[in-house]
Amino acid sequence: MRQVKLRITGRVQGVFYRASTREKAQQLGIKGWVKNEPDGTVSAVGQGPDAKLQRWIEWCGEGPSEARVESVEVEEQPIAAFQQFAIIR
């Protein structure tokens, strides 16, 4: 089990990125959150088993079909107590 924080850059707002990220996280059993940032990036925190978390990170590098992801920065974090995966507004 591990937890990471992602910073996703590119065309990632207004393209259903947050909803799609939550849907993928729920499919994989990842807990955490995703939110739009004022600078046009998206931040996300995910926690789960290594293999599933890695699949989620890779998916975040692609995003939904309308997104154009330029980069995904990954930062390891201490485990927090998340109950689900949420969209933060």
What is the chain's pLDDT, residue by residue, as a tens digit (89 residues)? 999 999 999 999 999 999 999 999 999 999 999 999 999 999 999 999 999 999 999 999 999 999 999 999 999 999 999 999 999 99
| 7 assigned to active site | no
Q: What is the CATH number of domain 2-88?
A: 3.30.70.100
Every domain of the chain and the residues it spans: 2-88
pLDDT value at residue 77: 97
Segment holding 23, helix H or strand E: helix 17-28
Vertex 26 angle, CA 55 and 11, to 5°: 65
| 36 assigned to active site | yes
Are 82 and 47 in contact by the 8 Å Cβ rule? The answer is yes
pLDDT value at residue 78: 97
Q: What is the pTM of this model?
A: 0.96
| The one catalytic residue among 2, 11, 36, 55 | 36
Token pair 């993928």 in the structure block, residue: 24
| The one catalytic residue among 18, 22, 55, 89 | 18
